[in-house]
Amino acid sequence: MPDLYILMGANGAGKSTTGSIYLPVHIQKKQDVFDGDKFYWNRVRELYKQQTPSIKEAKRLALDFLFEHFENLVKCDQAKGRFCL
- The 10s digit of each residue's pLDDT in 28-85 is 777 777 788 889 999 999 999 998 889 999 999 999 999 999 888 888 877 877 666 6
Q: Say how far apart CA 48 and CA 22 lie, in whole Å.
A: 34
The dihedral through the CA atoms of 18, 40, 43, 73 has a sign that is positive
Q: Are 59 and 43 in contact (CB under 8 A)?
A: no
Mean pLDDT of 8-18: 83
Cβ proximity of 16 and 37 under 8 Å: yes
Q: What pTM was computed for the model?
A: 0.68
* pLDDT for res 57: 93
Other CB atoms within 10 Å distance of the CB of residue 2:
9
Q: Where are the domains of the chain?
A: 15-80
Residue 12: CB atoms within 10 Å: 7
